[in-house]
Structure 1
Amino acid sequence: MSGNPGDAPAGTAGGARGGAPAGRPDNGPAVSRQEFDALFASVRTWGRWAEADRGAWNGVTADHARRAAAAVRDGTVVPMARPWDTRPGPDNAKPALHYMSDLGDVQAPEPSVHKDFLAADYHGKSVTHLDALSHIAYRGQLYDGRAARESVDAAGARFGAVSALGPLVTRGVLVDLPAVLGVDWLEPGRAVHARDVVAAQEALGVTIGDGDAVLLRSGALRRRRELGPWNPDTASAGWHVDALPMLAERAVALLGGDGDSDVRPSPVEGVHSPVHALAVTAMGVPLLDNLDLEPLSAACAEAGRYTFLLVVAPLNVPGGTGSPVNPVAVL
C-alpha cells in the first residue's frame, strides 16, 4: 500500500505519466501571508547568539556530540547521499557534471594518473546538500535581521556562509512517517503536521529534544524508483508550517529529509518555500535537502530504534551558501 491511508496501492498511484502524482494534493490548510508573518515572528531567534551566522548550532555543545556518540551500539554506518546525478530529468533540471580531465596518457615518468572534474549547481532537487544561513532571505533579510543585499554579493556570502558552520555532529532522529502509517510512501503534496510528529514519536519510541537533527522520511526515493521521476517543484511531501512551532519549542538544530523539507504546492500564499524561510531565516536552522533515507529506514527498523549519531561535514567554502554533503548516521 502507498500514500495516505485509503490511497491506491503502490504501483497504481501516480497517474499515467511516469511518477507524476495524481489527484488533489493534501497540502492544507491554507495559510495567509498575514498568518505566516505572525508565525515567522513567533519562532524567530534573532539576537540570541553572539556568533549569529552559526544560528541554532550555537546551542549544540560538545556534550551533545558526546552523548550522541555514547549511544552508538553496533557501529552500523549508513551514508545518506544520493548518487552524483549527471542525467537530466523532471527532478534534475541542472544535472551535475562529472568528466575525466586526465586519462593517464602520459607514459613517462611513472606513475600515470587519472583525474576527474566535478561541478554542480547543487541547490536543486537532485544533489544531497546542506543549506547554510545565507541561502534564504525573507522580506530582504537573512537570519538575525541581516540585510541580504549587504550580506551576499557576486563574491559570495559575508554572513551565514557554510564555512561558519563547520562539521555538524549531534543526535539524529528519523521521523519515518511511512513506517508509522504502514505505507510505502507519502504521496507528493501530502503535508506533515505537528500531530504527525506526536504520533511518530509515540510509535517510534523517540522524543525530539534540544540540539537534535530531525530527518523526515516521506519515502520519495522509493516512490521514484517504483513509479519513475516527477517534478518535485510541483508536488512533494514535506512539512506544513504548523509543525515548525513544535520543532522550534524543542530547539532542534537541523532539519532534513528526502525532499527539501517544504510540502509542495506551498500552503502559504505568495511564499514558495515557507519552511525554508521559517527554519533558515527565522530560526537559524540549516537544512539538509535530497537525502536518501531508504537505507537508514531499513537500518533503524532492524535495530528497533530511530535515533543515531549524525555526522555532516560540508566543504569548507568561504562565502558558500551551502555545500554538497554525504551525511552519515552511525547506529
Structure 2
Amino acid sequence: MSVKSVPTFDELPVDKKGPFLNAWGLYGDDDQLGFLNRLTDELVKDAAQEIQSGTRISLNWPMDAQNDIPFFGRQVFHKHVYQKPPRVVNDDVWTFNTQSSSQWDGLRHFAYQKEAKFYNGVTLDDIHSDNSTINGIGAWSEKGIIGRGILLDYEAWREEHNHPLKDAFKSGAITLSELKAVAEWEGVEIKFGDILIIRSGYMAQYYKRSHDELEALSKILPPTFLGVEQSEEVLRWIWDNFSAVAGDQPSFECWPSSQPYMLHEVLLAGWGCPIGELFDLEALSVQCKKSKRYSFFIASEPCNVPGGVASPPNIIAIQ
C-alpha cells in the first residue's frame, strides 16, 4: 500500500458507524495486519539500502530486567533450568507476562474503551470464545515487522540544548513540536512507512533509581509516565507517515492520558498500528550518534502464538 492509496486523515473514520478516527475495513473486514499492510515488499527492499556498515544493535531489554517489580501490576519473569538425568542435558521453562519487558502491543490488547471494540469491530466475546485467534499477534510473525526505522533521540536532543529534564516517572508530555525539532536536529528524513522509535530517556532514569524507589513507584495507581502527547496533531502525523511506533517508555504515550481518549485506542483499536514499549535504545543512541545517521534497517519477528495479545519484539537494528 502506497501513500497515494491511503485515505487522508481528514477522511477518517473509514467506517462511518464506528468509533472516532477508525480505519476499519480499509484493508478488508478480516484483516489482521493493520498498519503493517504499509510494509510492502517494495518498501522493505528499499529499506535494505540503510545497511551500510553491517553494524547490528539489539533493542531487546532483558526479559527479567524489571526483576520483581514490573509496572502495571504485571507478572515477573521466571526461569527454571533443570537437568534431565541420566544424561548430562539441561532444559528450561520460562514463565512471563509478554508485556513485562520489551514488547509489541498486539491488536487484542487495547480496545476503544467507551465502545468496547477492538480493531475492525472485534468484541471481547469474539476474543474469548473457544479457540478464537482473531486479532492475534501470531498473524504478525509470518512476515514480521521489517522496514526502515528512524530514531528520534529526544533525550540526546534535550541534553544538547540544555532543556530541563522531564521526570520519566511522572505524567508528562513529549510534544509533537519537540519531536519535529529532534528530527530537524538529527537531519533525518521521514519516509512513508517508517517505523518510528522514540528515546525518551526512560532507561537512563530507571537505572539511576534504587530498588526501594522503583518498588514504591510500581505501587502508584494508576502509574504515571512520561510519553508522547495525546493530540489530533500527533495522530495526524503518525497516520501520514508511519507503519509502527515504539519507544523506551512503559506506555509510549503520556500516562495517564491528558485527554478524554488515549493514543492506544486509536492506534491499536482504530488503525491496527503496532505499539512497541520498553525498547532498550541506549546502544542504538550511541551508534546513531557515532554514525551521524538516525535511520537504519529494522528486523523484528513477534512470536508465532496464534491468538496472542502481545510479544517480545525479537528486534535488531542494522546500519
**TM value normalised by structure 1:** 0.78
Counterpart in the other structure of 2:299? 311
Counterpart in the other structure of 1:253? 243
- Aligned partners of 2:122 and 2:107: how far apart in 1? 13
Match of 2:79 among 98, 101, 104: 98
Deviations, residues 170-189 of structure 1 (Å, cap 9, x unaligned): 11111110111226964222
Q: Which amino acid in 1 is paired with 2:293?
A: R
Taking the TM superposition and a 5 Å limit, the aligned residue runs for 1:190-205 are 190-205=172-187
Instruction: Let me know the Cα RMSD of the aligned residues.
Output: 2.3
Alignment CA distance shift 1:225-1:161 (3 Å): same
Please tell me whether the aligned partners of residues 133 and 308 of structure 2 are also in contact (alpha carbons under 8 angstroms): no
- Aligned partners of 2:98 and 2:308: how far apart in 1? 11
Counterpart in the other structure of 1:206? 188
Please tell me whether the aligned partners of residues 70 and 76 of structure 2 are also in contact (alpha carbons under 8 angstroms): no
Taking the TM superposition and a 5 Å limit, the aligned residue runs for 1:119-158 are 119-123=95-99, 126-138=100-112, 139-144=115-120, 146-153=121-128, 155=130, 157-158=132-133
Alignment CA distance shift 1:186-1:301 (3 Å): farther
Unaligned runs of 5+ in 2: 1-17
Alignment CA distance shift 1:210-1:42 (3 Å): farther
How many aligned residue pairs are there?
A: 281
Unaligned runs of 5+ in 1: 1-39
Between the aligned residues of both structures, percent identity stands at 24
TM-fit CA distance, 1:104: 4.2
Q: Which amino acid in 2 is paired with 1:241?
A: Q
TM-fit CA distance, 1:268: 2.3
TM-fit CA distance, 1:78: 0.5
- Aligned partners of 1:266 and 1:301: how far apart in 2? 32
Q: Which amino acid in 1 is paired with 2:189?
A: T
**TM value normalised by structure 2:** 0.81
Taking the TM superposition and a 5 Å limit, the aligned residue runs for 1:180-259 are 180-182=157-159, 186-188=166-168, 189-228=171-210, 229=214, 230-231=217-218, 234-242=223-231, 243-250=234-241, 252-259=242-249
Match of 2:278 among 290, 294, 311: 290
Q: Which amino acid in 2 is paired with 1:71?
A: E
Match of 1:168 among 145, 162, 166: 145
